[in-house]
Amino acid sequence: MKIIDSHVHTWTQQIISKKDIEARRIAAEHSGTEPQLNSPVFDLRNAMKKAEVSHAVILPIDSGLNQDMPLTLQEKTDYHVDEIEGDKTLVTFVGLDPRRGKEGLIELERAVKEKGCRGWKMYPPNGFYPDQEEFYPYYNLCVELGVPVTVHQGFTSRFKYVKYARPVHVDKVAVDFPELKIILAHVGIPWVNEALMVAAKNPNVSVDVSGWQVYAKTPLKIYQMIADAKLVHVFPNRFLWGSDFPLFENDVTLHEWAEFFRNLQLPQEMIDQGYRQVSTEDIERVMWKNAARLMFGEKQ
């Protein structure tokens, strides 16, 4: 089976800020691991090979308005475009903070039209609510360009603001732009019900399950979330598999996470209670068909 990871990252110390490095050190200390300061595309390709993940979507983050970044906005786009050049198994989005106004709009258009970026990655914890009307030109432009927007949701790192990352702040955008395809990252964790509610009521909203591998060894929470997503018809058609690679490699590797999901079955007790079992077809939709349609432009 083809597998698309709809949410991965690449970076090296040369492209991240000093604040990012510090945040990674803090997070690593907290979990008793080594900070992940370099994860170039080479590492991603190796992990994909081991995990038999055939395709992946790189989601760069624009923190340039909050932190001193070594690269300009445009240089950062080009960095990610160049690292995947000639590789049909990888695509990249463009990372943009919509508070950049006109400059950001120009970059969004350049990134998609000239550089082949497949969508926009938005990172509200840098300090903005997605439903501010001054950002509406960005959503209009995405619709015009025919690209989706993946919005980071929920849990974030030390120097970011989590209050901006609630799914409810995406609802108005989803309502006002019915043709805009929106992906709520991480199923909004910890605001899972909120993310599922926003997706359930808005047919243009999907969720991605990246980061949930942290529960793969104690999977009750994953089972319950999927059963709930199934009940509100977000799973399987608007549910994307993803990892957030390389962020959780120390807990559960990409290989283990792909394996877990490929073989996903709800426990018998849940089926006895009336939940419907996950089918092979569901898994195919979640692990590649939905992302092929949304992010690789394939008709599925």
Q: Which residues bind Zn ion (CB under 5 A)?
A: 244
Please, what is the minimum distance in Å from the beta carbon of residue 7 to Zn ion?
6
Question: For Zn ion, which is the closer residue by CB, 136 or 155?
Answer: 155
Reduce the secondary structure of 187-242 to three states and give it as a string.
Answer: HHCCCHHHHHHHHHHCCCEEEECCCHHHHCCCCHHHHHHHHHHHHCCCCCCCEECC
The structure tokens listed for 259 are: 């394996």
Question: For Zn ion, which is the closer residue by CB, 150 or 290?
Answer: 150
Per-residue burial over 220-229, b = 16 or more CB atoms within 10 Å of its CB, e = otherwise = eebbebbbbb
Please, what is the minimum distance in Å from the beta carbon of residue 9 to Zn ion?
6
> How big, in percent rounded to 5, are the helix, strand and coil portions of the chain?
45, 10, 45
How far is the first Cα of the chain from the last one, in angstroms, to the nearest whole number? 15
What are the Cα distances from residue 169, in Å, to 77, 154, 178? 26, 12, 15
The CA distance from 167 to 224, in Å, is 19
Report DSSP state, residue 132. -
Please, what is the minimum distance in Å from the beta carbon of residue 242 to Zn ion?
8
Please, what is the minimum distance in Å from the beta carbon of residue 112 to Zn ion?
20
Question: For Zn ion, which is the closer residue by CB, 97 or 244?
Answer: 244
Question: For Zn ion, which is the closer residue by CB, 11 or 139?
Answer: 11
Please, what is the minimum distance in Å from the beta carbon of residue 121 to Zn ion?
8
Question: For Zn ion, which is the closer residue by CB, 5 or 244?
Answer: 244
Please, what is the minimum distance in Å from the beta carbon of residue 4 to Zn ion?
15
Please, what is the minimum distance in Å from the beta carbon of residue 189 to Zn ion?
12
The residues with which 92 forms a beta bridge, in sequence order, are 58
Q: Confirm if 16 and 62 have CB atoms less than 8 A apart.
A: no
Question: For Zn ion, which is the closer residue by CB, 77 or 243?
Answer: 243
Question: For Zn ion, which is the closer residue by CB, 189 or 227?
Answer: 189
- The three-class DSSP label of residue 113 is helix
> H or E stretch including 58?
strand 55-58
